[in-house]
Amino acid sequence: MTSTEAAVVETGGAPFTLSHVDLADPRPDEVLVRMVAAGLCHTDLGVASGGLPFPLPGVLGHEGAGVVEEVGSDVTRVKPGDQVLLSFTSCGSCRNCRDGHPAYCQTWLPRNLIGGRRDDGSSTITRDGEPIGGHFFGQSSFSRLALVDERSLVKVDPDAPLELLAPLGCGIQTGAGAVWNVLKPRPGSAVVVLGAGAVGLSAVMAAALTPATTIIAADRVASRLDLAREVGATHVVDVTAQDLVAAVTEITGGGADGVVETTGSVAVLRQGVDALAARGTVVVVGAPPFGTEVALDVNGMLAGKQVVGLTLGDSETQTLIPALVSLVRSGRLPIDRLVKEYAFADIQQAVGDVASGATIKPVLRF
């Protein structure tokens, strides 16, 4: 057992508070990681608010980056001293995992988002001898030390800038994967990104690296639309002043080939579907509360339109994340424009800045 300091959410809607916790010893397929940085994502905030059935009190965090301290007896991917990025976990043996789609693992929800424990029900984190929620995305990285599934790890170079790269584990790979793995723009394609937050702007950057010639970012915050232009958008739509569907139809001359919906608003999702050209595709990334439904014009869908749900960019992390690292380090994926660093002790300030829109992608430094 190892003692460390973690940011704990006591109940739904409570703030993150620093607390001493104990980590279980690594099992054969687990790794102890000393955290260097961790991104703060809207998924963390959604769980902390009580919007998802994760067991609280608990430790969240799923965009970790750090240095390996200790490895389990069966671990082969990394050794002590290696730098690693942390992402989601998966079983590795179901049909989707074997087919290269671990984000659609049959046990994805309990292993990552709502279980709070290992697959066998055992706890990775205790406090004062009592189990608390952990194993979030196989990592619970809002902690100075984290017990991590080997399948959550991606090794990076010893000189890789972990504070910058931490967000690749969720938000950045989600936006990029929506474009590269689902839309796959062809020469001359028109891509629309709804919402210019971290995921949306990552999608814009990814689209700029494809043959798409029209890249439209839509948001209600002027400063974010300005940033979208700077990182690759050819056009922007201020939805406080323009009708989204009409603007997209005019810019594209008939509708978008692909839309990435990141806001989680069903009203915006409906607009995205209505803004599609025939045979166009909407990728649903933003997640509203469980059970939310959306109404679509069925006859409008008969023009070959598709609506595709997406988890974690449909990423195979050992392939996509190293590619993202290379693009970031070469300056071709300028995620530094999104990141603002905070000391770990200032996690609640980072939460407030995300909620107010003052910061796009907070990264905690340990």
In this structure, which topology does domain 2-169+334-365 adopt according to CATH? Answer: Quinone Oxidoreductase; Chain A, domain 1 (3.90.180)
Indicate the pTM of the whole model.
Answer: 0.95
Of 220, 139, 234, 245, residue with least CA distance to 185: 234
Residue 287 has pLDDT above 90, yes or no: no
- Average pLDDT taken over every residue of the chain: 97
pLDDT classification of 289: cutoffs 50, 70, 90? confident
What's phi and psi for 233, nearest 5 deg?
-70, 135
| Per-residue model confidence (pLDDT) at position 288 | 86
* Residues forming a β-bridge with 219: 238
* Rounded-to-integer distance, Cα 104 and Cα 96, Å: 6
Contact yes or no for 215/191 (Cβ under 8 A)? yes
Q: Look up residue 237 and give its two tokens.
A: 């739509």
At 154, is the secondary structure helix, strand, or coil? strand
| Per-residue model confidence (pLDDT) at position 290 | 82
Of 324, 314, 264, 316, residue with least CA distance to 289: 264
Distance of CA 77 to the CA centre of its chain: 23
What is the per-residue pLDDT across 128-163, written as a single tens digit (0 to 9) for each?
999 999 999 999 999 999 999 999 999 999 999 999
User: Is 175-311 assigned to CATH 2.40.160.10?
Assistant: no
Which positions ≥6 away from 145 have C-beta within 8 Å?
Answer: 2, 4, 23, 32, 33, 34, 35, 69
Residues of the chain with CATH 3.40.50.720: 175-311
What is the per-residue pLDDT across 156-180, written as a single tens digit (0 to 9) for each?
999 999 999 999 999 999 999 999 9
Residues of the chain with CATH 3.90.180.10: 2-169+334-365
Strand (E) or helix (H) holding 236: strand 235-238
Q: Look up residue 225 and give its two tokens.
A: 């639309």
Residue 291 has pLDDT above 90, yes or no: no
Distance of CA 160 to the CA centre of its chain: 20
| Per-residue model confidence (pLDDT) at position 53 | 86
Burial status of residue 280 (CB atoms within 10 A of its CB: 0-12, 13-18, 19 or more): buried
Contact yes or no for 167/335 (Cβ under 8 A)? yes
Burial status of residue 135 (CB atoms within 10 A of its CB: 0-12, 13-18, 19 or more): buried
* Rounded-to-integer distance, Cα 245 and Cα 252, Å: 11
